[in-house]
Amino acid sequence: MTPIWLDRPRATHPKLTGTATYDVVVAGAGVTGLLTGLLLARAGLRVAVLEARQVADGTTGHTTAKVSVLQGTRLSQALRTNRPSIVRDYVTANQEGQAWLRRFCDAHDVPHQDRPAYTYGTTRPGELRARAELSAASLVGLDVTWEEATELPFPIRGAVRLADQMQLHPLDLVDALVAQLLAEGGELFEHSRLTDARRTADGVTVTTDDANVTARHLVLATGQPVLRRHGFFARLKPQRSYAAALRSPWVPRGMYLSAEQPTRSLRSLPVNGGDELLLVGGSGHVTGRAQSEAEHLEELLTWARSTFGGEVTHTWSAQDHASVTGLPYVGPMLPRDHSIWVATGFDKWGLAAAPAAALLLSKTLLEEGGAGERPPWHRAFSTWTPREAIGAGRAALFNGEVGVELAKDVVRRKWRDAEQADPPVRGLCTHLGGAVRWNDAERSWDCPLHGSRFAPDGSVLEGPAVCGLRKL
């Protein structure tokens, strides 16, 4: 399963070795990490961006690449655990980040398309959810409209519409960000997985398999933050979803997302020669908790073929994380700790929120040095606030589900599956000991507790684990 975005030649970058000193180390070379590194390098700081595999191998390279402030039903969900003023700040942050990204794309010849975004319903429950999103979006200042009909080739009960949103090819964006990062004096290292970080009197020591470096600040832009001691894994739910590209006779002019389950996402993708592909996405589930990931993918493909027709050219899946508060966490890893910072909880909308996250992180770190000032919408992204108490019920649900999965593992002895595989590996996740389960779509061992994923040989694909499964 190769994403269409990654199916092209890609530049390579050196591995970090030895010792060095930086002002800031950024772990994770997706859009959030690269943007943060670029902004700090532009400000004159010495910056190193570390990527455990290759640039964009994480969520950035597996996205559907919509840059929209209308985000399915996220705003109405966020209002359940946040005051309207906080959700309004989140919308303002996304608008500011989207505007920054549009300017960057225009300045550096990154192709992008302006498209309206829609949240639509095909059933009575879906219509009610879409109307709730209409009310929420209007409440927090978005200029949305209700549409009784759209271009979709199947009946709907109505849709929320927001004009002038964006879509793009994420690798076009990433290539431009990398070029600018290096031009500004930043450094980029691949195959350099962060395995540990320790606070020191004047910053942090960062460890990889082949290097030890010191820095004043460490930014964890790794999807779910690695390092167990921060406890963010207890406030996040890891989710996988699926996507495909098709040569189809029908291609949308807008970007669409259903309000009901299973989720259906639609957009177009211009390709060479003036043609366009249809991109579909959805059929998600909590990581490691599906009976068969291949069946989820096949469900999506069956729906796409029967609804639109055409030939499938690529299939892939992505991982992202939902937060307890319904909004991202961007800020210090621990209260009053100004050495280690996190950016997580984008819940499939990282391309819209990542520029805002990078702006917030860079301005906050520069403020620490007396050279910056946090944007007024920063509280919507706070990592530690009283809003966590409002989300306590959701946190209890997240962790109750984890407890259930642990009990299942004990009864079913699921870890034995990995020990009897070829090659055999110890079937316990190196993060917190969950029994990994075989992903039959992507041929990986996935942990149902907090979303760590491992290759068949046990090596780490995605965190929060930083160490591979033990080989037997």
| Domains of the chain by residue range | 4-62+171-234+326-384, 112-166+237-321, 392-462
The phi and psi torsions of 415 (rounded to 5 degrees) equal -65, -20
Look at residue 337 in the predicted model and tell me its pLDDT: 85
User: What's the rounded Cα separation, in Å, for the pair 237 and 224?
Assistant: 9
Strands 112-121 and 255-258: parallel
Task: Give the CATH architecture of domain 112-166+237-321.
Answer: 2-Layer Sandwich (3.30)
Give pTM, 2 decimals: 0.94
Distance of CA 420 to the CA centre of its chain: 33
Identify the DSSP state of 61.
G
Fold match flag (4-62+171-234+326-384 vs 112-166+237-321): no
Q: What's the one-letter identity of residue 355?
A: P
CB atoms under 10 Å from CB of 57, counted, come to: 19
CATH topology of domain 4-62+171-234+326-384: FAD/NAD(P)-binding domain (3.50.50)
Strands 211-220 and 236-247: unpaired
Q: Both tokens of residue 351?
A: 């391309």
Whether the CB-CB separation of 245 and 312 falls below 8 Å is answered with yes
Helix, coil or strand: residue 219: strand
Look at residue 377 in the predicted model and tell me its pLDDT: 96
Strands 264-270 and 453-454: unpaired
**Per-residue pLDDT tens over the stretch 131-148:** 999 999 999 999 999 999
When the pLDDT of each residue in the chain is averaged and rounded to a whole number, the result is 92
User: What's the rounded Cα separation, in Å, for the pair 9 and 16?
Assistant: 22
- Ranges of the chain with pLDDT below 70: 228-229, 369-372, 386-414
Look at residue 411 in the predicted model and tell me its pLDDT: 45
Look at residue 419 in the predicted model and tell me its pLDDT: 85
Whether the CB-CB separation of 83 and 75 falls below 8 Å is answered with no
**Per-residue pLDDT tens over the stretch 21-64:** 999 999 999 999 999 999 999 999 999 999 999 999 999 999 99
Identify the DSSP state of 425.
B
User: What's the rounded Cα separation, in Å, for the pair 237 and 220?
Assistant: 17
Helix, coil or strand: residue 439: strand
Task: Tell me the H-state helices in 56-169.
Answer: 74-78, 84-107, 124-139
Q: What's the one-letter identity of residue 455?
A: A
Let me know how long the chain is.
472
Look at residue 56 in the predicted model and tell me its pLDDT: 97
Beta bridge pairs of residue 240: 285, 319
Q: What's the first-to-final CA gap in the chain, in angstroms?
A: 27
Task: Tell me the H-state helices in 241-381.
Answer: 293-308, 350-368
